[in-house]
Structure 1
Amino acid sequence: MAPFRAADLLRRKPVAQVEGEHPPEHLPRTIGLFQLTMLGVGATIGTGIFVALTTAVPAAGPAVILAFVLAGITAALTALCYAELASTIPVSGSSYSYAYATLGEFVAFIVGACLLLEYAVSASAIAVGWGQYLNEMLVDLVGWKMPDAIAKAPGAGGVFNLPAVVLVGSCMILLLRGVKESTTINAVLVVLKLLILAFFVIVAFSGFQARNLTPFMPMGLAGVGTAAGSIFFSYIGIDAVSTAGEEVKDPHRTLPLGIVLSLLIVTAIYILVALAAVGAQPWTAFAGQEAGLAVILRNLTGQAWTSLVLCVGAIVSIFSITLVVMYGQTRILYAMSRDGLLPKLFQRLDPRTRSPDLNTYVVAAFIAVLAAFVPLDVLMNLTSMGTLIAFAIVSLGVIILRRIQPDLPRGYKVPLYPVLPVASVAFCAYLVWKLPADTWLLFAVWVAGACAIYFGYSRKHSRLNG
């Protein structure tokens, strides 16, 4: 057992070393600006709209629109911080790598654990939502739906969520074919998804009724904060963009642009779809409503084909989200293994595809188990917790790196520094505070496990050790 030294917890990886690390089996740069932007949009749009409205609307009422605004402002502040760090340290690992260069090894490891948690749980949550829309499509096509025993998790009235496992397995197969093929297919899926959401907005606004917006804020400001905290996990796309830092062409320019563009597209669409949804249906009807957007269209038009179109779009949309989230998690494992904080087997690349295949198998198995056996409502808040913690640390990293290396070349700088990074931390802290107590407890258990791994393995195997 290596002797404990408090300094080990604070050892930082020099930025030049972080950016200059390209071992013989480095990841090739194959992703352009359009693919990167679609990566962020694909990772974000879908969860908050297709899945989480049934939880967020009952918490805030029609003021769920403000909840999306609040979450969007928080994400915007963080996105600017991400853009600066991503243009300065364009490598795989995203906020994990940023924390390693600014806050030290122990904080970086905990951030990595938060990222692994948020990616796995969010992928599981959206896989569960995918099964709901698949069932709704079967109802529209053949008037039959899968029995709850194979379509829901045990805590939600079922035994084993088979559709969610099928989705995760399909994404795993695609990722094993290589990242260039995966991101290209994802870009096509995202364009299709945007067209489907535009179809929903047009039809829903045709039945818009102003009386559905009153009372606008039945749960008060507290309800808006609670809803914003629960839906924030849908902004994981910002982090997913930066995990591709080592595989992006011209990263100093492309990464900041990709992050900002994806966020602007996502927030505008979220607010527009949420407004159309609460205007077309009373807010009290959202609670417990599965495949909510499809049901709204069927109820509004009385035509099954409108619901079918929406279901097909949701199925495609959620597929693309799961694909991107699984991609991001495999790259975080790769980055942590390369630093010696996880076993070396997680940095092995397939000789043909140059992708970390073992990571893909491990990630897919973990996500599939969660999706098969854990209900949707248990997964969502835990994902938001991990996302917000990682985002807050990125914003702190901007402040610290400006102080310790003010002359470091930066492709982009946060405006109104240090006001915006401080505001980002404050907004994240507020949304974390609004999460329920059981989420805090589950998160504490996960962090305790991460600490055990760090002190039992990572500290002495770190490449910075000695």
Structure 2
Amino acid sequence: MESSRGTLKRSLGVVPIVFLGLAYMSPFAVFDTFGVVSNETHGHVPASYILITIAILFTALSYGKMVKIFPEAGSAYTYTKKTMNPQLGFLVGWSALLDYLFLPMINALLAGIYLSASFPSVPAWVWILGLILTITIMNISGVKIAVNANMLFVLFQLLVAILFVVLTIRTINGDVNSGFTLNPFYSEDIKLSLLFSGASILALSFLGFDAVTTLAEETISPEKNIPKGIFLIALIGGIFFIIVTYFMQSLYPDVSVFTDIEGASPEIAKHIGGILFQSIFTSGALVSVLASGLASQMSASRLMYAMGRDGVLPRKWFGYLDKKTQTPIFNLIFIGLLSLSALFLDLVVATSLINFGAFTAFSFVNLSVIMYYVKNKQRMKRTSFIGYVIFPIIGLVFLFYLWFSLDQLAILFGLSWFTIGFGVLLWITKGFKVMPPEYQFVENN
């Protein structure tokens, strides 16, 4: 295979960037965790969402600063190697691959679960294989096709969610035992420790808000559009989650009435709109899986492309860029094949794989901002200390709490993956005797 190297083609503006980020995050994630977090926080899901939204916004600011300085593909991998050192950058990129590589697999697994429930006579592997083939072909066809499809998918999810809220409000108005109060945000029995515990679970709703930084080389004026886009993604997502869960919590202050707390949202959909709306709600969940799978596979391929172009992954394959479609076609196929592991894993194990990678990326982006300030403070304004040190530290403090909230399975998988990466690093640096290879990014005119 002849390797085509260079930079990716710039074609994306801020609107497609926002839709891609929302697709990766998946607006329907709000429904997946509602029952569990409501039980954990004693009916204060919106309050927990406020906490995690604020925390994520601080990290979003750090991503924005880094992409202004380094408008390249690679995200946390690139920022760490540029501000600290290439060896650590490789390990951060390697750890972040857990999040990027396995999220497409989780979406394939969810597609199998959803569709098998609706069509039990069809084997789950048919749906899993079908989703993987669909998103792989769409991504190989070019970034524009994938972006346009994702915009439609996100709009459909938002319409279903709006209909969900409208039906919830109608149900509350017709129920003498329900009403609109501030209790979902604050009540006398609220406990801050439980809110933070809930927030650590809800952090999963924001996984992927950072993924658009991997598309910096395909974005027009990335120094302006990526920071604006990533902040809007986190802000819009947070506001959406808070509003939806407020109405859900108002209707059901106590989710113990449900036989299956994890499946509370589909039961609520049936209660407020009957079988017809439950079917529409299920279709929204399926579209959510397709959109998130499409966006996550795209982002993962760009991270691998950046590492392949550097040569820390085999350049011949991972650094290859198709001349016609301007997509890292081998990476997309590789991720599609890896997603087939959904045929053998369950959802609990699969989800555990991604948390370690996501929290590693978030943490080191905040650290990268601080290190950049330390190295360049002589030529920076005095007021820069707030944005380059104070804000990232606030983001780190919350992330440290999230690290301690990780379950043992996530930590075990994460450390095992990290150990493999360390071995790879030893090999490519010949026992740290040479520096990891690095591609010198030059903008194509």
- Cα deviation, 1:356-403, whole Å, max 9, x if unaligned, reads 11101111111231x222222233344223212211110110111122
Q: Is the 8 A contact 2:355 2:410 kept in 1?
A: no
Sort the Cα spacing of 1:375 and 1:35 in 2 relative to 1 into closer, same or farther, 3 A.
same
Identify the residue that residue 383 of structure 1 maps to in structure 2: 354
- Code of the residue aligned with 2:150 in structure 1: it is N
Q: Following TM superposition, by how much is the alpha carbon of 1:25 offset from its aligned partner in structure 2, in angstroms?
A: 3.5
Are positions 1:74 and 2:40 aligned together? no
Are positions 1:277 and 2:248 aligned together? yes
Q: Following TM superposition, by how much is the alpha carbon of 1:269 offset from its aligned partner in structure 2, in angstroms?
A: 0.7
- Cα deviation, 1:212-237, whole Å, max 9, x if unaligned, reads 97997989544433332233133223
Q: Following TM superposition, by how much is the alpha carbon of 1:27 offset from its aligned partner in structure 2, in angstroms?
A: 0.7
Of 81-90 and 206-215, deviating more is: 206-215
Paired residue total? 423
Q: 2:131 aligns with which of 162, 167, 171?
A: 167
Q: Following TM superposition, by how much is the alpha carbon of 1:46 offset from its aligned partner in structure 2, in angstroms?
A: 3.4
Q: 2:395 aligns with which of 409, 424, 435?
A: 424
Identify the residue that residue 463 of structure 1 maps to in structure 2: 437
Q: Give me the whole-angstrom Cα distance separating, in 2, the residues matched to 1:403 and 1:48.
A: 38
Q: Is the 8 A contact 1:341 1:458 kept in 2?
A: no
Q: 1:404 aligns with which of 371, 375, 379?
A: 375
Q: Secondary structure at the match of 1:117?
A: helix
Q: Following TM superposition, by how much is the alpha carbon of 1:54 offset from its aligned partner in structure 2, in angstroms?
A: 4.6
Are positions 1:225 and 2:225 aligned together? no
Q: 2:22 aligns with which of 41, 55, 80?
A: 41
Q: 1:325 aligns with which of 296, 316, 322?
A: 296
Q: Is the 8 A contact 1:201 1:273 kept in 2?
A: yes
Identify the residue that residue 179 of structure 1 maps to in structure 2: 143
Identify the residue that residue 443 of structure 1 maps to in structure 2: 414
Q: Is the 8 A contact 1:349 1:357 kept in 2?
A: yes
Are positions 1:349 and 2:321 aligned together? yes
Q: Secondary structure at the match of 1:341?
A: coil
Are positions 1:28 and 2:2 aligned together? no
Sort the Cα spacing of 1:379 and 1:230 in 2 relative to 1 into closer, same or farther, 3 A.
farther
- Cα deviation, 1:72-102, whole Å, max 9, x if unaligned, reads 1221110001111111111101111111101
Q: Give me the whole-angstrom Cα distance separating, in 2, the residues matched to 1:129 and 1:50.
A: 14
Sort the Cα spacing of 1:328 and 1:458 in 2 relative to 1 into closer, same or farther, 3 A.
farther
- Cα deviation, 1:392-421, whole Å, max 9, x if unaligned, reads 1101101111221347899xx795442111
Q: Following TM superposition, by how much is the alpha carbon of 1:119 offset from its aligned partner in structure 2, in angstroms?
A: 1.8
Q: Is the 8 A contact 1:63 1:217 kept in 2?
A: no
Identify the residue that residue 443 of structure 2 maps to in structure 1: none
Q: Give me the whole-angstrom Cα distance separating, in 2, the residues matched to 1:306 and 1:105.
A: 52
Q: 1:146 aligns with which of 97, 120, 137?
A: 120
Q: Cα RMSD (Å) of the superposition?
A: 2.9
- Code of the residue aligned with 2:130 in structure 1: it is V
Q: Give me the whole-angstrom Cα distance separating, in 1, the residues matched to 2:27 and 2:204.
A: 11
Q: Give me the whole-angstrom Cα distance separating, in 1, the residues matched to 2:128 and 2:429.
A: 33
Q: Give me the whole-angstrom Cα distance separating, in 2, the residues matched to 1:274 and 1:300.
A: 15
Q: Give me the whole-angstrom Cα distance separating, in 1, the residues matched to 2:63 and 2:268.
A: 36
- Unmatched runs of 5 consecutive residues or more in structure 2: 173-177, 440-445
Sort the Cα spacing of 1:415 and 1:189 in 2 relative to 1 into closer, same or farther, 3 A.
farther
Q: 2:222 aligns with which of 251, 261, 264?
A: 251
Q: Give me the whole-angstrom Cα distance separating, in 1, the residues matched to 2:318 and 2:385.
A: 34
- Cα deviation, 1:51-84, whole Å, max 9, x if unaligned, reads 3335434433422323322221221110001111
Q: Is the 8 A contact 1:62 1:217 kept in 2?
A: no
Of 58-67 and 393-402, deviating more is: 58-67
Q: Following TM superposition, by how much is the alpha carbon of 1:31 offset from its aligned partner in structure 2, in angstroms?
A: 0.6
User: Under a length normalisation based on structure 1, what TM-score does the superposition of the two structures give?
Assistant: 0.83
Q: Give me the whole-angstrom Cα distance separating, in 2, the residues matched to 1:57 and 1:287.
A: 14
Identify the residue that residue 98 of structure 1 maps to in structure 2: 79
Q: Secondary structure at the match of 1:355?
A: coil
Of 456-465 and 74-83, deviating more is: 456-465
User: Under a length normalisation based on structure 2, what TM-score does the superposition of the two structures give?
Assistant: 0.86
Sort the Cα spacing of 1:352 and 1:270 in 2 relative to 1 into closer, same or farther, 3 A.
same
Sort the Cα spacing of 1:286 and 1:354 in 2 relative to 1 into closer, same or farther, 3 A.
farther
- Unmatched runs of 5 consecutive residues or more in structure 1: 1-22, 139-144, 152-160
Are positions 1:358 and 2:330 aligned together? yes
Q: 1:128 aligns with which of 109, 113, 133?
A: 109
Q: Is the 8 A contact 2:36 2:262 kept in 1?
A: no
Alignment of 1:300-315 (within 5 A): 300-301=272-273, 303-315=274-286
Sort the Cα spacing of 1:58 and 1:150 in 2 relative to 1 into closer, same or farther, 3 A.
farther
Q: Give me the whole-angstrom Cα distance separating, in 2, the residues matched to 1:33 and 1:297.
A: 33
Q: Give me the whole-angstrom Cα distance separating, in 2, the residues matched to 1:203 and 1:426.
A: 39
